[in-house]
Structures are given as structure tokens and as C-alpha cells.
Homo-oligomer: A and B are copies of this chain.
Amino acid sequence: MSTPLYQLKAEFFKTLGHPARIRVLELLSEREHAVAEMLPEVGIEPAHLSQQLAVLRRANLVKTRKEGSTVYYSLISPQVAELLRVARTILSGVLAGQAELLADLQAAQRPAKPPS
């Protein structure tokens, strides 16, 4: 193994680490989409979307199908949808934790009640 496994994992997550790419993967979790179809959803200029799609292609996460001059993208592995689902669960936990913290901070401005 030339590259250690955790290096590959890190690169994998790095390719997910961009708002436009996440947005695209979410759209593709539902069904395949043409580039033009994704454009308004992602809200970035065409050239930039192409670049981000290229990143996903290079990472082997999506595949393309050409029909005339429009290109349809879809997920290679449907498990990506599951990954996003798990991530959402974790994230809502994290955000809930932060909300709690926020509440504590706000409470601390009044006659302090110590954390449980």
C-alpha cells in the first residue's frame, strides 16, 4: 500500500468538504441531475460548478451520462446518501450541544446556576 489508508480517508472527506459539492451530492442522492438543472440549486456560476463536479469525478464519487449536449450526473455509490444521512444526525447533535452551551451562557448573565 503506497498511501496509508487514513490518508485516503482524509482525502475522501476532503472532497466532501465544500458547500457546492455537498449540495450536489444531496441533489444526486435523490436522482440523477443534468448540470443545467443543478445550477440554480447550487447558485454558483457554471464554470465554477464544472470545477467542483470535476473534483467529484476525480474522486470517483459520481459518473456522467451524455445525452446530446447535456450531461447527466449520478452517484456511483448509493451509500453516499447514507453517509450524508449519518452526517446530518451527528451534526444535529453537535448543533444541539451548541444551543445548550448558548443557553448556559445566557443563563450565566443572570444569577448563575452552575452546570449540572
Contacts and interface: CB of A to CB of B under 8 A. Distances in A.
Interface of A: 4, 6-14, 16-19, 21-23, 26, 59-61, 76-77, 79-80, 82-84, 86-91, 93-95, 97-98
Counting chain B CB atoms within 10 Å of each CB, which of A7, A23, A87 scores highest?
Answer: A87
A76 to B, nearest CB: 7
B97 A86 contact: no
B7 A98 contact: no
A12 B19 CA distance: 10
A17 B13 contact: yes
B6 A10 contact: no
Counting chain B CB atoms within 10 Å of each CB, which of A13, A94, A97 scores highest?
Answer: A13
Nearest to A9: B22
